[in-house]
Amino acid sequence: MVTFETVNELTLKVTCSGTDEIYTKAGAFVGGENAGPKNYKFDKVLLGPQNNLGQALMGHLARRVTGENLPLMKVSMNGDSTTYYASAGNHVVVYHLQKGESISIESENILAFSSDCDYSVRFIGVGVLSQKGLATTSLTAKGDHAYVAILSNGNPIVLSNMQSGNTLSVDPDAVICWIGNYDPTIQADVSWKTFIGQSSGESYQFEWHGNSPVTVIVQPTERGGGINVAMD
């Protein structure tokens, strides 16, 4: 069994009791300790974390086509240990999924996840206006020990309409992930001003309405991309 927690906001600490395995971004390991000879090892994941070869191959192809490809490393733990993971000084957020709960996350924002997570790529079909969004990586909890470690470029903010029922609107290029069963709709604000270089710079957003309860994590840095429509 493993548990995830953060250290100094920038590092993931994974504590293993007994035998287990996790999947991490390749090269993310920074240190570890255990009693006696080292009892954990690292293996490159060639296709995907799925146990079924056919599913792993199809998942690999889907990730390559959609840009959701993530070089993964499997960490196999055979005994009690503590290991640490980080990536380029990014902030780390740990989320403990409840059984059956899903998180939709950009592949580049995944640091690690436990073996209790079912990993897949889904098409959501709203990526034409954004650097990201055509597809998303989904992690769904199969058991009670499903952890996800999320990377954020800067301290993230959390928006939720679970209790309020409010409409949430976010920049697609700043979204890290969302937790819930509802994918966003896209709202575009394109007018004649857009084509003469008078765009506000916020011509499209992801939206969730009150009847789509969701929690969204957003980073304070936008990805480059999207469509820049203007006329000189």
Does a structural domain hold residue 146?
yes
pTM greater than 0.85: no
106 in Cβ contact with 177 (< 8 Å): yes
Among 42-56, 139-153, 210-224, the range with the most confident prediction by mean pLDDT is 139-153
Residue 186's pLDDT is what? 78
Q: Using CA atoms in the order 195, 197, 198, 204, what is the torsion angle rounded to 10 degrees?
A: 60
User: Is 75 a member of any domain?
Assistant: yes
Question: Does residue 227 sit within a domain?
Answer: no
Note whether residue 50 is domain-resident: yes
In CATH, what number is assigned to the domain containing residue 168? Answer: 3.60.160.10
pLDDT at 136: 80
Q: How far apart are CA 45 and CA 23, in angstroms?
A: 9
pLDDT at residue 66 greater than cutoff 60: no
Question: Are the C-beta atoms of 223 and 132 separated by less than 8 Å?
Answer: yes
Does 9 reside within a domain?
A: yes
8-state DSSP, 56: H
Give the C-alpha separation, 153 to 67, whole Å: 19
Of the ranges 34-48, 74-88, 146-160, which one carries the lowest mean pLDDT score? 34-48
- Which residue, chain included where needed, has tokens 């928006």? 159
Q: What is the tens place of the pLDDT at every residue in 160-207?
A: 999 999 999 998 889 999 999 888 887 776 544 444 444 444 567 889
Number of structural domains found in the chain: 1
The pLDDT mean for the chain works out to 82
Instruction: Calculate what percentage of the chain has a pLDDT beyond 90.
Output: 59
* Predicted local confidence at residue 134, as pLDDT: 60
Q: Kindly state whether residue 223 falls inside one of the protein's structural domains.
A: no
pLDDT at 123: 72
Give the domain range for residue 150. 2-218
Q: What is the pLDDT of residues 84-105, one digit of tens each?
A: 999 999 999 999 999 999 999 9
In a domain, 229, yes or no: no
What are all long-range contacts of 124-130, with beta carbons under 8 Å and residues at least 24 apart? 124/183, 124/184, 126/172, 126/183, 126/184, 126/185, 126/186, 126/206, 128/227, 129/172, 129/186, 129/188, 129/203, 129/204, 129/226, 129/227, 130/172, 130/173, 130/204, 130/225, 130/226
Q: Is residue 230 part of a domain?
A: no
* pLDDT tens for each residue of 119-167: 887 777 544 444 444 668 899 999 999 999 999 999 999 999 999 999 9
pLDDT at 203: 60
